[in-house]
Amino acid sequence: MIYYGKYFLVAYILILIQSSIFFKKTFNFFVIPDFALIYIFWLTIENKQTIAKYVGLFVGIFLDLVNPDKTFINTFTYFFSTLYIINLKNNFLNFNFILKLLTVILLSLIVSVPKTTYLFFTTGFLVNEDFKLISFYVLANTVMMYFVYYFDIFVLKRNEV
Amino acid sequence: MLFNVKRKLLKVTYFLIGISIVLFIIFSNFFKGLSVDFIGVPNKAISSIVESFNNLFVYLQDKKSLLEENKSLKKQIEILKLENQKNFYLEKENEALKKMLDFKNYYGFSHVLVGKVIGFSPDNWVDGFFIDLGKKENIKEGDLVVAGGYLIGIVKVVGQNFSEVMSVNDKNFKITVRTRKTGEICFYNGLDYKKGVLKYVRPEQDIRFSDVVETTVINSSNPEGIPIGIVRKISTKEGEFFREIEIETFYYPYSLNYVLVIPR
């Protein structure tokens, strides 16, 4: 439990950063990058598939809990996207540039499209801003993932390269 | 004999010429100036070197104390800057709270609570924020949240010390409203950033452009007359019975600081 605890704690801190007033007001983003999703991706890249599975579940449940409405959509999308990326990781030993790009785009779409669809079914609204939100969400996650990935490669594991 | 006298006279002459030259040199301004320059240049160099040594000595001696003094002065500057910022912030805060008090007095609410916004929803698909008021302050689900004189949300989840507010821009936000000028009862639904729609508006209902949409007491225990937004677009879709009314809301998350919670 203590072994998994630190990963849950990191995920929790990332969600806190996502929701912080400082982050929102300072950067004034239209879409906040999904740090938790990037963290799950990073865990899978680092061959921590089991932990990624639990963290994905934890993040989904936590986001559903802080949602003002009672929903299951976050748990479903995050866990499903985690399983998807684990499956991809098992099929491909090493992710090359194109594969990483495709994985992050697909991962973001797996999270964003069901959420938008679910919202459409519950409220009956589907406006242009929804498509804009999906596009920016995918873009923000891709940029952030590459930033984290190259930071990891060129700064944290510099001596290993 | 004569030869000796000539020689002595010549010697005296040479002597007098010599004396004259010396006296000329001594009393000449040109040579005086030249001599000062001659003595001045090396003296200046020497004095510079000595001064440098002295300065170095003094610097070495006072370096520590000067650094400490500099540090304490810098600290004082930073404290003053901070105080200045704090005063500025307090001034702004005071202005915002005064506005809230004006709002309270204007609508005559007997009991209102002031909450501070502490965070926003981490989910991009949810438009909401968290405030530092909870069950301890007797906050209940469904309480209206107001900022700048406009309705900006409704309390949805209540914790012991904190609550989550769903903003008027969220697609799940629904409330019964009326138009201020014509008093038409409609159903407001949040749509997007600074946008909402009036649902189920019949063609015969008198909805006017730029009319204010406000809360009403019909079918709810909410206080009435709190503005939500302004009518910005009225259109009729072909083949649809109800009209489509677009509302501009006043919820702007980036400048949100304090909010007023009106218990039901």
Give yes or no: residues B135 and B247 share one domain. Answer: yes
* Residue that terminates a domain, selected from B108, B137, B160: B108
- CB contact (8 A) between residue A68 and residue B170: yes
Mean pLDDT to the nearest integer, B247-252: 88
Return the pLDDT at A113.
Answer: 92
Instruction: Indicate the range of A21-25, A48-52, A117-121, B147-151 predicted with least confidence.
Output: A21-25
Of A18, A74, A123, the CB nearest to B171: A123
What's the predicted TM-score (pTM) here?
Answer: 0.70
Give yes or no: residues B43 and B59 share one domain. Answer: yes
- For residues B200 and B211, give the distance between their C-alpha atoms in angstroms, rounded to a whole number: 17
- For residues A112 and B148, give the distance between their C-alpha atoms in angstroms, rounded to a whole number: 33
Residue A55 confidence class, pLDDT cut points 50, 70, 90: very high
Return the pLDDT at B219.
Answer: 58
Residue B144 sits in a domain of what CATH number?
2.40.10.340
Higher pLDDT, B179 or A95: B179
Of B122, B130, B170, the CB nearest to A63: B122
DSSP codes of every residue in B109-121? -S--EEEEEEEE-
| Assigned domain for A65 exists | yes
Return the pLDDT at A1.
Answer: 67
CA separation, residue B18 to residues A10, A136, B169 (Å): 102, 103, 111
Give yes or no: residues B126 and B139 share one domain. Answer: yes
Give yes or no: residues B116 and B48 share one domain. Answer: no
| Assigned domain for A160 exists | no
Instruction: Indicate the range of A86-90, A137-141, B163-167 predicted with least confidence.
Output: A86-90
Q: Which residue of B has its CA nearest to A128?
A: B192
* Residue that terminates a domain, selected from B108, B135, B167: B108
Question: In which element (H, E) is residue B233 found?
Answer: strand B227-236
pLDDT tens digits, one per residue of B154-203: 998 888 888 889 999 998 898 888 888 888 888 899 988 888 999 888 88
Return the pLDDT at B247.
Answer: 92
Return the pLDDT at A160.
Answer: 62
pLDDT over 80 at B102, yes or no = no
Residues of A in contact with B242 (CB under 8 A): none
For chain B, how many structural domains are there in total?
Answer: 2
pLDDT over 60 at A161, yes or no = no
| Assigned domain for A10 exists | yes
Higher pLDDT, B96 or A49: A49
Residue B223 confidence class, pLDDT cut points 50, 70, 90: confident
Give yes or no: residues B33 and B145 share one domain. Answer: no
pLDDT over 70 at B8, yes or no = yes
Determine contact, residues B172/B213, Cβ cutoff 8 Å. no
| Assigned domain for A161 exists | no
- Give me chain A's average pLDDT, please: 84
Give yes or no: residues B140 and B23 share one domain. Answer: no
Give yes or no: residues B21 and B145 share one domain. Answer: no
- For residues A33 and A150, give the distance between their C-alpha atoms in angstroms, rounded to a whole number: 17
Q: Domain of A42?
A: 2-155
- Whether residue A123 lies within 8 A of chain B, CB to CB, comes out as yes
pLDDT tens digits, one per residue of B38-90: 666 776 777 778 778 878 887 787 777 888 888 888 888 888 887 888 888 78
pLDDT tens digits, one per residue of B111-146: 788 888 888 888 888 888 888 888 888 888 888 898
Give yes or no: residues B142 and B255 share one domain. Answer: yes
Return the pLDDT at B248.
Answer: 92
Give yes or no: residues B164 and B230 share one domain. Answer: yes
Does the ipTM exceed 0.95?
no
- Give me chain B's average pLDDT, please: 82
- CB contact (8 A) between residue B164 and residue A125: no
Determine contact, residues B145/B112, Cβ cutoff 8 Å. no
**Per-residue tokens: B213:** 């949409």
| Residue among B233, B251, B246 nearest B150 (CA) | B251
| Residue B107, burial from CB neighbour count under 10 angstroms (0-12, 13-18, 19+) | middle
- For residues A61 and A72, give the distance between their C-alpha atoms in angstroms, rounded to a whole number: 8
Give yes or no: residues B186 and B124 share one domain. Answer: yes
For chain A, how many structural domains are there in total?
Answer: 1
- CB contact (8 A) between residue A67 and residue B191: no
pLDDT tens digits, one per residue of B10-46: 888 888 888 788 777 776 777 766 666 666 677 677 7
Residues of B in contact with A68 (CB under 8 A): 121, 126, 128, 156-157, 164-166, 170, 172
Give yes or no: residues B16 and B100 share one domain. Answer: yes
- For residues B218 and B206, give the distance between their C-alpha atoms in angstroms, rounded to a whole number: 18
Return the pLDDT at B220.
Answer: 63
**Secondary structure of residue A10 in the 3-state scheme:** helix
Mean pLDDT to the nearest integer, B229-249: 85
Q: Domain of B155?
A: 109-264
Give yes or no: residues B123 and B97 share one domain. Answer: no
